[in-house]
Amino acid sequence: MAKIYDALRKAEADRQRKVGGGAGGERLDWEPETPEPAKPSGSVKLPSGPRDEGRSRPNQDIGDINKRRIALLQPDSYVAEQFRALRGRIDALDSEGNLRSVMVTSAMPGEGKTTAAVNLSVVTGLSLDRSVLLIDCDLRRPNVHQSLGLQPKSGLAEVLDGKVEPDVAITRVEGANLDVLPVRGRPSNPSELLGSPRMVDLMTDLRSRYDRIILDTPAALGLPDAKSVSAFCDGIVVVVRAGRTRQEDTETVIEILGRQRVVGIVLNGAEIDQGRYGYSS
């Protein structure tokens, strides 16, 4: 867990520096930084990305949407390689096949959980002979379908309500080895649906059909949804945003969801020095 706490301290230090008006490097969108060698567990550091995750604007900027699926649009990019490192760390912990389902969450909205879930799913699908499913479990402010350019006619809520079969709602992403169970309707009882026996039965069925299932959940603080989903997930990835996420909030999330199942932390929005790399946007 040492790497996890290093990530928490880094996020808190960045947040305190910004609050206090301290000097720092220029904040850049998806700029490359020196990659660290992959390790079996710990944290993955990502450069700055979209800041409005989960706010569900009617017309989101196409640049922000593209950043959420950068591993699909630019599979050789630095960011895609960082998600490959995260995939490798999860695989290293999955030596006995006990990490079939992994949920991605954050303490609060706007910290990049959907970006992490989408890109992790895309790079996991690049593995040979591996079937991958991404489930949007955010029944309140879903973003997965928009991030991947999908227009679902049905989704998770309709499946859990018994209105359609899972195969009807699951959509294949064009140009990727990835299936998606998106959100179409937004029910009035999301917490109850996610914690229902039907959700348990659905996950049992899907686990028998897919090698890896990745679930994008709502932020964990203030809502019971993420806790409900964590009950039937094998591993948890927590996303923190540098300069925004408070260390105590992330520690609370880890305690609520169960630290023994946290397989790593993604540090999103890291500050970097543009001049170090001779890179221009």
Q: Which residues contact 7 (CB under 8 A, 6 or more apart)?
A: 42, 43, 45, 240, 265, 267
The per-residue pLDDT of the chain, averaged, comes to 79
For residues 276 and 112, which has the higher predicted lDDT (pLDDT)? 112
pLDDT at 123 over 50: yes
Collapsed DSSP state (helix, strand, coil) of residue 101: strand
**Amino acid identity, residue 108?**
M
Instruction: For residue range 103-113, list pLDDT tens digits in order.
Output: 999 999 999 99
Using alpha carbons, select from 267, 270, 261 the residue that is nearest to residue 1. Answer: 261
- Rounded CA-CA distance 144/120 in Å is 12
Residue 131 has pLDDT above 50, yes or no: yes
pLDDT digits (tens, 9 = 90+) for 211-261: 999 999 999 998 999 999 999 999 999 999 988 899 999 999 999 999 999
- Which pLDDT band, with edges at 50, 70 and 90, does 270 fall under? confident
Helix (H) or strand (E) holding 47: strand 42-47
For β-strands 42-47 and 262-270, DSSP reports them as: parallel
Ordered by where they begin, the domains of the chain are 2-17+44-52+64-270 (3.40.50.300)
Q: How far apart are CA 146 and CA 152, in angstroms?
A: 10
Confidence category of residue 26, pLDDT binned at 50, 70, 90: very low
